[in-house]
Chain A
Amino acid sequence: MSMSEYDLISIVSHELRSPLTAIRGYLSMLETMDADNLTQKQRLFISRIDQSSQRMADLIEKLLDLGSIESGNLNLSIAPTALENIVQAVALELGDKAKKADLDIIIADKKRLPVVLADPGRLQQIVTNLLDNAIKYSPQGGPINITFKQNAEEVVVMIADEGVGIPADQFNKLFTKFGRLYHPSTIDRPGSGLGLYIVKRLVECHGGRIWLTSKEGKGSKFSFSLPIAKQLPLLD
């Protein structure tokens, strides 16, 4: 796509934010200001409208990210960042969702990791996307293990599930725009197919790499690396 087409994506996505804010805002007010007068069916309909509008909101944010990345306008606020704090925070945020899906998020007990150079908000986005995918593609429940490795130059984060796994011939497709894994057991799980592409580009913009190992029916492990912040003390 040319630069002007990504600019168009950004402009349209921005314009969609306001009406979407109104939809979600009025729904929230219906639920809180008029709660006693709503029938069960009306509450259900409101919930469905809310879920659909949340999907729209997520897609808009992904399109805005895509526009920024592809047009070279992504602004990263790189700072020394405590990786384990970000991972813990995301695990906490997704904890209820994981529990409802009979999944157990297990973060490796480890020595303190070196500080990495990252935009904390974008790092949170990367970990959230990968962990959310692990939850989405593990319909049978089980553990999701988050482990770490390091060498002199980088720290590697590994998120492994025991879910549906990915056929080897789909590995490369997953990291492309709109590439999605289609599996009979997860066909009802919504997704734009942009998440992993954006995660890959964000990791690369941080000077890192991302890769995947998987076996169909056995689960998947997504790993990504981040450069260590040199000559900085370990955070307390």
Chain B
Amino acid sequence: MAKILIVEDDKILAEMYQEKFNHEGHQADVALSGEQALSELDKFKPELILLDILMPKLNGFHILKEIKKIPEYSNVPIVLLTNLDQSEVDMSEDMARAIGVADYLVKGQHTPDEVVARAIRHLKK
């Protein structure tokens, strides 16, 4: 069982992934904004973070940078979850690694099953 923080401003989508992670035996929490995510870190202590890119005010890349600055969470695997596809963001696997994310998933191209299965692969053993 792992603690997963889902950072996603669309409440319905966030709760969909939360439902799926919980069904698989994990403990998932939801933050509906970047600011809320940053304030949840110490309370929830996630072992894996799913991070949407396009959010109002602070976008996913900004949150990523802030999380990486915090020593206790700088090594927590982060999976970018977005509806922008690769032609819109020009994100290759190498680039994802270079900016410190474990993976990049386009929401509309994966079922919740697939998102969960791929995300938990990055949990630290």
Q: Which A residues lie at the B interface, using CB under 8 A?
A: 14, 17-22, 24-26, 28-29, 32-33, 57, 75, 77, 121
Contacts and interface: CB of A to CB of B under 8 A. Distances in A.
Interface string B68-80: 0000000000000
Interface string B58-86: 00000000000000000000000001000
B95 interface: no
B39 interface: no
Q: How large is the interface on B (under 10, 10 to 19, 20 to 34, 35 or more residues)?
A: 10 to 19
A26 B23 CA distance: 13
Interface in B78-106: 83, 87, 90
B1 interface: no
A22 B12 CA distance: 7
Contact of B16 (A29, A57, A75): A29
Given A17-B107, A28-B113, A32-B113, 4 more contacts: A18-B13, A21-B108, A28-B112, A29-B19
A75 B86 CA distance: 11
A75 B16 CA distance: 32
A21 B113 contact: no
B85 to A, nearest CB: 9
B16 A18 contact: no
Interface of B: 10, 12-13, 16, 19-20, 23, 83, 87, 90, 107-108, 111-113
Contacts of B90: 75
10 contacts: A18-B83, A18-B107, A19-B12, A21-B108, A22-B13, A25-B16, A28-B111, A28-B113, A29-B16, A29-B20
Nearest to A76: B87
A25 B87 contact: no
A17 B108 contact: yes
Given A18-B10, A18-B83, A25-B16, A33 B23 contact: yes
A77 B16 CA distance: 34
Nearest to B14: A22
Contacts of A26: 16
